[in-house]
A and B are shown apart, each in its own frame.
Chain A
Amino acid sequence: MAVDAARVKEGSPRRGALRSVSRFAWRRPGVKAFGQISAPVAAFLFVYVAALVALLIQGFWTTDSFTGKIIHSWTLDNFRVIANAPYPTIIVRTLVMASAVTITCMVLAFPYAYFMVRIAGRRLRIVLLVATVLPLWVSYLVRVYSWRLILNPDGALNWALNVLGLPDQNIAYTNTAMWVVFTYIWFPFMVLPVYAALERVPYSLIEASADLGGRGSTTLRRVILPLAVPGLAAGSIFTFSLTLGDYIAPSLVGGPGSSLIGTVVYESLGLANNAPFAAAFAMVPLGIMAVYLVVMKRLGAFESL
């Protein structure tokens, strides 16, 4: 189709400067490639890489204790401070939280996505997909605040527990609350890639497994799960990295001892005006994600993105 359309257009020759440029590019493929790729590469270098490099450089500076202005002299002090309490604890807590959220999302998303792909009818599947994505249409803040209403001591959850004759929960403003809220908020980011991965598993493979004597659980374990791993890995990149950088949920639903990496960066920048330390600390999640992405690439995550 596209080729046909192009052939029709060939009938009307281009004129002038544009035509000579196009002729020149056609004769020299190297120039053509450069012309095509240079704009996006430049944008990538200047907007994305330059920002990160600026960040990295700033991490080696410090601020004046009187004026708060940045002093442009090289020092490793910021990185030394990161090694002291409470920062290692905060880094470990963030890693544990991100892992817990990721694993919970995986455990919940896999059966959910499997149900959508294999069991639900066409109409139900659409309803479920829309229901999954629906929360993303609502502001992040609204979703976090709604969880505060649910978890509050006088909130909906305790009311429901009391109706059932169960004792009150008391998880508002704790790390548990943070875990619940993160899991809820990032859930769609896990479901969608897993859904995509499972949808690509041909039904014939499952039949073949059954023909060869594989029981349901064996088929799940040895055929479906391995094929879903790229989807799970892709989803985990989202849930893991989003948890790693978030600072709003900890401040809204977290309690004492709920600071995450994002909280420290935000406070260093927003309260102490200590941009160099914030920059140095922002290197930590960058490093963690670099390692994480290498591992995920091994698991084939990028085939499912």
Chain B
Amino acid sequence: MKRIRFGYVALAALVTALAVPAAGVSKGSGLPASVGAGEGKLTLIAWEGYTEKQWVAPFEKATGCKVSAKYAGSSNDMFNLMTSGGGGQYDMVSASGDASLRLIYAGALAEVNVGLIPSYKDFFKAFQAPATNTVGGKHYGVSVQFGPNLLLYNTAKEKKPTSWAALYDVKNKGKITIPDNPIQIADAALYLSKTKPALGIKDPYELTKTQLAAAVALLKQQRPLVKKYWGLASDQIDLFKNGGSTLGASWPYQYSQLLAAKAKVGTVIPKEGVTGWLDTWMLSSKAKHPNCAYKWMQYISTPKAQAQQATYYGETPVNKKACAIMDTITKGSCKQFSANAPESYYRSIKFWKTPIADCGNGQKNCTDLKAWTTAWQQVKG
């Protein structure tokens, strides 16, 4: 019996050994050394606006990989689609930082060989191995686009603020709009890390119980000043247009929309720094079309595709060569979205990261997203 079983195993091993190089991408422990022929298909979970025809059609034509995308409504949607039901239906997901670590820890993602992505070397250094998609030196995808969370203000009614303190100032009661998302706690933590160093906050996403309590206390003070915790970007745009709100935590998207509507608004990067979001095309550990997935990562990180997506969506590309092309699409868009900023600016942005119990320093006493959500519900009351 034993001998026969060994025979089967040896045979299976031999077949696998022969099949793997043929497939081009090995599914075992090792990383693929080259990208083979495409499988003719690629299934994606994406944010709406991330798989537009203008850059997907050339990809399909060049590679023969037919793209079918499912739009996710939230980070949590993405997480559920990738983990429940096996996740085998989807090859890749354009996960934001508040989902990416959860996906990695849930074992839903495969390590990516960034050596196979030619444009990778053109990425700003800050986006080559950011903490949102790289754990212990292993990459789980390629960064795509990002945006900072800015301080938005009405230039006609407010003096230019220089600090997030404007959003905690009693004088501004009833003028403030804040995103309705537990990850907003990080903004308070970032502010506290500068104004109350005694708390010892180093990373706004790695908070101990005491640090979280301090952030919650600050946000509770802010609540009576808040006009609206907005769920949709359009909520905030409305409130800034009709004069209900003159100060708020916001995204570049709202700013460009308001400018287009001729509203008198400006944005500031306050002196305490900003948080931001960074999206990554991540590879499923059960991807059925890994070659097409690699081809997609190669394509979507090229300067042209980066520039098209950035100008379409209103976000910043991670490829530094995209800037010139952005300006040919929409004049001034490179500067508007800071696609040519110095490396230090990108380094200063604290990108969204799923809060998890592991503090990253070997200690496991940090508060997780569950605790953050409860805390956020306490803040909103």
List residues of A whose CB falls within 8 A of some B CB: 63, 65-69, 81, 85-87, 89-90, 148, 152-155, 172-173, 251-252, 255-259, 264, 267-274, 277
Interface contact B244-A153, CB-CB below 8 Å = yes
State how many angstroms separate the Cβ of B247 from the closest Cβ of chain A: 15
If A66-B356, A273-B79 touch, does A89 touch B381 (CB 8 Å cutoff)?
Answer: yes
Q: Hey, which bits of chain B sit against chain A, CB under 8 A?
A: 74, 76, 79-80, 83, 102, 105-107, 180-182, 223-224, 226-229, 231, 235, 238, 242-244, 356-358, 368-370, 372-374, 376-378, 380-381
CB neighbours (8 Å) of A81 from chain B are: 374
Closest chain A residue to B183, Cβ basis:
A271
Asked, given contacts A154-B242, A272-B182, whether A267 binds B74 with beta carbons under 8 Å apart, the answer is no
A89, B376: Cα distance in complex, Å:
14
- Contact A67-B378, Cβ < 8 Å, known A152-B244, A256-B223: no
Question: Cβ of A267: which chain B residues have Cβ within 8 Å of it?
Answer: 182, 373, 376-377
Question: For residue B84, which residue of chain A has the nearest CB?
Answer: A69
Interchain CA distance A65-B235 in the complex, whole Å: 32
Q: Is the CB of B181 within 8 A of A271?
A: yes
Question: Looking at the complex, which one of B227, B368, B376, B378 makes contact with A173 (CB distance below 8 Å)?
Answer: B227
11 intermolecular pairs with C-beta atoms under 8 Å apart: A67-B102, A67-B105, A68-B106, A152-B238, A152-B244, A153-B244, A252-B231, A255-B227, A267-B377, A273-B369, A274-B370
Contact B377 A86 (CB under 8 A): yes
Q: Which residue of A lies closest to B230 (CB)?
A: A251
For the complex, give the distance between the alpha carbons of A257 and B106 in Å.
34
CB distance from B255 to the nearest CB of A (A): 20
B369: chain A residues at CB < 8 Å are: 68, 272-273
Contact of B242 among A66, A89, A152, A268 (CB under 8 A): A152
* Shortest CB distance A66–B (Å): 5
Instruction: State which of A67, A154, A251, A269 has its C-beta within 8 Å of the C-beta of B231.
Output: A251
- Which of A154, A252, A259 has the most C-beta atoms of chain B within 10 angstroms of its own C-beta? A259
Picked from A66, A256, A269, the residue with its CB within 8 Å of the CB of B381 is A256
| Beta-carbon contact of B373 and A268 below 8 Å | yes
The verdict on A148 contacting B228 (CB below 8 Å), with A256-B380, A264-B377, A271-B74 known, is no
Which of B244, B358, B370, B381 has the most C-beta atoms of chain A within 10 angstroms of its own C-beta? B370
Q: A86-B378, A256-B228, A257-B381 are in contact. Are A272 and B370 (CB under 8 A)?
A: yes
Interchain CB contact (< 8 A) of B243 among A90, A148, A154, A274: A154
Inter-chain contact B74/A66, CB cutoff 8 Å? no
User: Out of B74, B80, B370, which one reaches A63, CB within 8 Å?
Assistant: B370
CB distance from A136 to the nearest CB of B (A): 24
What is the distance, in angstroms, from A278's C-beta to the closest C-beta of chain B? 10
Q: Which residues of A contact B381 (CB under 8 A)?
A: 86, 89-90, 256-257, 259
CB contacts (< 8 Å) of A155 on chain B: these are 242
Q: A68–B102 contact, CB under 8 A?
A: yes
Taking CB atoms, residues of chain B closer than 8 Å to A152 are: 238, 242, 244
Find out whether the CB atom of B83 lies under 8 angstroms from the CB atom of A251. Answer: no
CB distance from B375 to the nearest CB of A (A): 10
In the assembled complex, the Cα of A67 lies from the Cα of B79 at a distance in Å of 10
- Tell me, in angstroms, the Cα distance from A90 to B373 when the chains sit together: 15
B370 touches A65 (CB 8 A): yes
* Min CB gap B381→A, angstroms: 4
Task: Tell me if A66 and B105 are in contact (CB < 8 A).
Answer: yes
Q: Roughly how many angstroms separate A148 CA and B241 CA in the complex, as a whole number?
A: 13
